[in-house]
A = this chain, B = another copy of it.
Amino acid sequence: MQSTDVRECSIARTLDLVGERWTLLALRELFLGNHRFEAIVRHTGAPRDILTTRLRKLEAHGLIARSLYQERPRRYEYRLTPLGESLAPVLTVLREWGDEHLAGPDGPPATFTHSCGAKLEAHVTCRHCGEEVKASAVRQAAP
């Protein structure tokens, strides 16, 4: 009777990396162009010490890079690496879901535009057939 049989899974791995509290909000700020520690603290509300550990972890895994933007006194800011930028779809989908299901009577708290000129409304599609991916359309392949 083995009582644990924890599933090896890319979802779990991704969450191990970016699923802790504040991490995705910090990344959101970087995507929005706020690269400084103080700005991230202000806009996320994260405790400064926690934010430090989150940023260090993201840096250690190559999602962000710390760069000196000023000598004397030495000041650092954070920038997304290409790997970090590849998380854009994750944030986009989280925002999309919140926009659709958690918005108040005034609609979503912020809107975004895509480079095509339209208000950004994103959806997840199958690369092969182009159809929107729905829960009922996905099956685990035989291992």
Residues of A within 8 A of B (CB): 3-15, 17, 19-21, 24-25, 28-29, 31-32, 42-45, 80, 83, 85-103, 108-129, 131, 133-141, 143
Contacts and interface: CB of A to CB of B under 8 A. Distances in A.
Given A109-B9, A120-B126, A31 B93 contact: no
A100 to B, nearest CB: 8
Given A32-B140, A112-B139, A118-B126, A6 B93 contact: no
A142 to B, nearest CB: 9
Contact of A10 (B6, B80, B108, B143): B108
> Which of the listed residues A94, A124, A137 has the most CB atoms from chain B within 10 Å of its own CB?
A94
A43 to B, nearest CB: 5
Given A12-B25, A93-B124, A123-B127, A43 B6 contact: yes
Nearest to A10: B98
Contacts of A123: 89, 124-125, 127
Given A31-B135, A42-B5, A135-B88, A122 B121 contact: no
15 contacts: A7-B29, A11-B98, A15-B25, A15-B94, A31-B135, A32-B140, A80-B135, A85-B135, A88-B124, A112-B139, A113-B139, A114-B131, A114-B137, A117-B128, A120-B133
